[in-house]
Amino acid sequence: MRYLIRLIFACAVVSVLSGPASASAQVDRSLDGDQQCTLCHNESWSKPILTIYQTKHGVKGDSRTPGCQTCHGASVNHQSDPAGKAPDVVFASKSKKQSSVEARNAACLSCHESKVLPREHWSGSTHESHGVACTDCHELHSPKQRVLTAQQQEAVCAKCHKAEDAQIHRFSRHPIAEGKVTCSSCHNVHGSVGPKLLVKESVNETCYTCHAEKRGPFLWEHAPVSDDCTNCHTPHGSNISPLLKVKAPMLCQNCHSGDHGKSLYSGANLPTGNVTTVNGQLPLGAQSPAAQGNARSCMLCHSTIHGSNHPAGAKFER
């Protein structure tokens, strides 16, 4: 009876050590620990693996640097049966055994949530809540990640953001193709306290990081400008320069709907001189055109539309 009990206990121990609990086995981040993986996943592997040692994740002199097992788990079962068992955490997008988004992100956040480049706003962010995994954007084994390269970052974001990708190729746009501006210049993709994952607390504060001359404060403030730059501008691209939503004067007339050109109070383009009226009314063909239709439209006269410090600039005139 005692022999039977001991045998059952021994089988239970073996089952625990070789079963699913292998994911909690002690991981080895050292080069010797990596060698257990790179014996098979070497330079002849279909996907470049060893190039990770050309990245920050391969610098063993830094104690914070992970090893293969840090991200993929100790993977005891996989090491004993490489063909039949998958690693504890599988990142490959084309693999049928790919781990869940939560498991993949947990491997990254074990370091990046607090220790290295903190991502304290990731939890609950737009990307996190939509099931985006870190490796959907980052190629950790590549020495040159596209998402971290100015000219290529837009292509990574475009995999999901199709509408914005179309807009940034319009006539009036930010210099994204030239690599002078990137998506991350305006957006913090790992989470933000501002709207739309913006790098600052508001749209205007984000725009001011480049367009400081529009910040003010001005003696004369233009209400829609102070409120939100996107009241007039579309940030990703437009066929109307400079990044305007609608051509002027239609843009201005969204708010200023009066017939400015024939107003008795504006003094603009009023008919003068010896004119003939019909029953006291000026015929349509003899009337002056609306001021909004001339040349550069409203901005022909109201050229300091973002705000003015001139004592006579209440109407944002030059």
Q: Tell me whether residue 150 is in a domain.
A: yes
pLDDT tens digits, one per residue of 166-220:
999 999 999 998 999 999 999 999 999 999 999 999 999 999 999 999 998 999 9
- Burial grade of 312 (CB within 10 A; 0-12, 13-18, 19 or more): exposed
Which of 208, 227, 251 is the endpoint of a domain? 208
Q: Over 70: is that where the pLDDT of 303 sits? A: yes
Closest CA to 33 of 55, 7, 81, 65: 65
CB of 164 within 8 A of CB of 186?
Answer: no
Indicate whether 288 pLDDT > 70. Answer: no
* CA atoms 293, 295, 301, 307: torsion sign: positive
pLDDT digits (tens, 9 = 90+) for 164-178: 999 999 999 999 989
CA distance 259 to 10: 93
* CB distance 153 to 147 below 8 Å: yes
Domain boundary pick from 158, 184, 208: 208
Same domain as 92, residue 161: no
Cβ 227 vs Cβ 306: under 8 Å: no
Q: Name the least confident of 42-46, 128-132, 253-257.
A: 253-257
Supply the range of the domain harboring residue 106. Answer: 43-142
**Same domain, residue pair 151 and 116:** no
Place of tokens 């367009």: 211
State both tokens at 45.
Answer: 């592997």
b (16+ CB within 10 A) / e for 28-67: bbeeebbebbbeebeeeeeeebebbeebebbeeeeeebbb
Contact 171, 234 (CB under 8 A): no
- The pLDDT, as a whole number, for residue 17 is 37
CA distance 69 to 102: 17
Same domain membership, residue 201 and residue 166: yes
Most confident residue range from 8-17, 256-265, 269-278: 256-265
| Pair (138, 160) in one structural domain | no
In a domain? residue 58 = yes
Same domain, 129 and 192: no
Query: What is the average pLDDT value for the chain, to the nearest integer?
Result: 83
Q: How many domains does the chain have?
A: 2
pLDDT in tens, 90-99: 999 888 999 9
Residue 305 lies in a domain: no
* Residue 278 structure tokens: 């019909």
Does residue 11 form part of some domain?
no
Q: Is residue 22 part of a domain?
A: no
Same domain assignment for residues 156 and 80: no
Last residue of one domain, picked from the residues 123, 142, 161: 142
pLDDT in tens, 114-133: 767 778 889 999 999 999 99
Task: Examine the domain organization and report whether 67 and 154 are in the same domain.
Answer: no
Q: Is 244 helix (H, G, I), strand (E, B) or coil?
A: strand
The CA distance from 101 to 203, in Å, is: 30
- At 6, the pLDDT band (50, 70, 90 cuts) reads very low
Judge whether 263 lies within some domain: no
For 233-254, give one letter per residue: b (16+ CB within 10 A) or e. Answer: bbbbbbebeebbeeebbebbbe
Indicate whether 131 and 151 sit together in one domain. Answer: no
HSE value, Cβ hemisphere, 13 Å, CA-based, for 158: 15
**Residue bearing tokens 């962010």:** 125
For residue 151, the tally of other CB atoms under 10 A from its CB is 13
User: Per the domain annotation, does 1 fall within a domain?
Assistant: no
Other beta carbons within 10 angstroms of residue 78's beta carbon come to 21
State the pLDDT at residue 47: 87
pTM of the predicted structure, to 2 decimals: 0.77
Residues 77 and 136 in one domain: yes
- 111 and 179 belong to one structural domain: no
Check whether residue 129 and residue 173 sit in a common domain: no
134 burial via Cβ count (<10 Å: 0-12, 13-18, 19+): buried
Q: Is residue 276 part of a domain?
A: no
204 and 119 inside one domain: no
